[in-house]
Amino acid sequence: MRPLYPEIEPHEHGMLDVGDGNLVSWETCGNPRGKPALVLHGGPGSGRSPWFRRLFDPSAYRVVLFDQRGCGRSTLHASALDTGLATNTTWRLIDDAERLREQLAIERWLVLGGSWGSTWGLAYAEAHPDHVTEMILFGVTTGRRKEFDWTFRGGLSILFLWESTTLDWPPRIGLAERFRDPVYAMAFARIVTHYVRHNAWLEDGVLLRGVASLTNIAGTLVNGRFDFQAPIGNAWELHRVWPNSEIVIVDNAGHGGSALITEALIRATDAAIR
């Protein structure tokens, strides 16, 4: 099993004023002169995690992470009920990533995103293809209505309702630890429901139709075979319209950063610097 790279700490961090009263929290780690890589977290609203830093060779990469508007260390924080979310949209997040790229004087970067971060990453790359070198996406979602419906409006919720009444799984308390924090839980819940209500401000299927702009960008699509939240059909449909992509189906893996998914991601980041 390919291990994570050693734990590292940021060598630079700050708060970027993106307007509308919002300050976005960001950090860079690894080699300041290394290959730039942007990490886009999931959720929407989950915030960045130290786990992402360890997917990259710290001697070869300059890794940039930031918390989207309203979550993590960014302010105004969505846990406060008087924080409006009208300007917390997919298109504003794309603009925020561009502002950060410009502030850090990065010409082009690799984009890695998981779950919601894969949708965000696709939207960003299609808007700014000249600023992206490669893409690594996992737990792939593309922001289509049927994907939101599956996760939030019937399919998945009905499946797990049945499962919870018929099967006895050992508890995995660690997965829910973050939600013990009421600040995190409130921000996450508000941001997720805000995006789902508006279908992430994406015309249905627009990201698949826009893949033509990624012709010169190599993509690696990593998906667990048993990912119920982001079924492998999402990654397969994206792969079919993106000739310069490869799809990696990880057996015995679901959604998120399991050991097998982690190994596949590290292999992908290593391959991008060879």
- Give mean pLDDT, residues 212-224: 97
- Alpha-helical (H) ranges within the chain are 50-53, 90-103, 116-127, 145-152, 155-166, 182-197, 206-209, 232-241, 259-271
Going 101 to 105 to 109 to 113, the CA torsion angle's sign is negative
- The β-bridge partners of 110 are 37
Residue 235 located in a structural domain: yes
CA–CA dist 179, 174 (Å, integer): 10
Task: Give the model confidence (pLDDT) of 248-262 as tens digits.
Answer: 999 988 787 788 999
Confidence of residue 34 (pLDDT cuts 50, 70, 90): very high
Residue 85 located in a structural domain: yes
pLDDT value of residue 175: 56
Between 269 and 162, the more confident residue is 269
- Give mean pLDDT, residues 21-37: 98
Please report, for residues 18, 69, 71, 172, the alpha-carbon distance to residue 23 in angstroms, rounded to integers and kept in the order given. 6, 7, 10, 34
> Is 235's pLDDT higher than 80?
yes
Q: Which residues contact 141 (CB under 8 A, 6 or more apart)?
A: 115, 116, 118, 119, 147, 230, 234
Cis peptide before 231 (omega within 30 of 0): no
Element (DSSP H or E) covering residue 38: strand 35-40
> Which residues are catalytic, by number?
115, 227, 255
Question: Whole-number mean pLDDT of the chain?
Answer: 92
pLDDT value of residue 165: 54
CA–CA dist 112, 101 (Å, integer): 14
Confidence of residue 128 (pLDDT cuts 50, 70, 90): very high
> Is 158's pLDDT higher than 70?
no
β-strands 12-19, 109-114: how paired? Answer: unpaired
> Is 130's pLDDT higher than 90?
yes
Q: Which domain holds residue 86?
A: 12-272
Residue 1 located in a structural domain: no
pLDDT value of residue 219: 98
State the residue for tokens 């307007």.
19
- Give mean pLDDT, residues 147-160: 74
Does the pTM surpass 0.85? The reply is yes
Please report, for residues 81, 89, 114, 189, 212, the alpha-carbon distance to residue 133 in angstroms, rounded to integers and kept in the order given. 39, 25, 17, 33, 15
Residue 221 located in a structural domain: yes
CATH number for position 203: 3.40.50.1820
- Give mean pLDDT, residues 222-239: 92
Task: Give the model confidence (pLDDT) of 55-72 as tens digits.
Answer: 999 999 999 999 999 999
Residue 4 located in a structural domain: no
Residue 2 located in a structural domain: no
> Is 164's pLDDT higher than 80?
no
Task: Give the model confidence (pLDDT) of 77-118 as tens digits.
Answer: 999 999 999 999 999 999 999 999 999 999 999 999 999 999
Number of domains in the chain: 1
Between 50 and 170, the more confident residue is 50
Q: Which amino acid is at 268?
A: A
Residue 5 located in a structural domain: no
CA–CA dist 100, 122 (Å, integer): 17
> Is 173's pLDDT higher than 60?
no
pLDDT value of residue 253: 85
pLDDT value of residue 168: 56
